[in-house]
Amino acid sequence: MSEAALAPNNIILTDRAAKKIGRILAKQGEGTVLRIVVAGGGCSGFQYEYKLGKETPANDDLVLTKDNATVLIDSLSLEFMGGAEIDYVDDLIGQSFQIKNPNAVAGCGCGTSFAVA
């Protein structure tokens, strides 16, 4: 199997991201999930928000599960994230989740804000 597995709606959750999310969720207790939301704001117009919580997926949520990680993405956010890859990077600059989004036409230096055409 490849480093990244293709999920429904073409959202990719890499092995690195799934393992890191799984470790974070294990410390939060049973039933905790990570929700990724695209919200208005940030320096480029839209930004990603990451929320940990105990919740049941809504009927229109995309549910990604891999390596003890559960990630929820709502249907509105999916419209902005189609084809995106959710990754985790640990390098000399620091550690962070990064979303490589083919729909983004511009972004900012922090990597969490983006614009669409």
3-state secondary structure of 7: coil
CATH superfamily entry for domain 4-116: HesB-like domain (2.60.300.12)
Q: Write out the two tokens for 61.
A: 């949520």
Per-residue pLDDT tens over the stretch 41-90: 777 678 889 999 999 999 999 999 998 999 999 999 998 898 999 999 98
Residue 33 has a pLDDT of 97
- Residue whose C-alpha is closest to residue 52's, from 79, 75, 31: 31
Nearest to 110 by CA among 15, 36, 21, 41: 41
What's the pLDDT band for 25 if we cut at 50, 70, 90? very high
What is d(CA 67, CA 7) in angstroms, rounded to the nearest whole number? 14
Q: Are 14 and 84 contacting, i.e. CB atoms less than 8 angstroms apart?
A: no
Residue 3 in this model has a pLDDT that exceeds 60 = no
pTM of the entire structure?
A: 0.83
Mean of per-residue pLDDT scores for the chain: 85
pLDDT of residue 2: 43
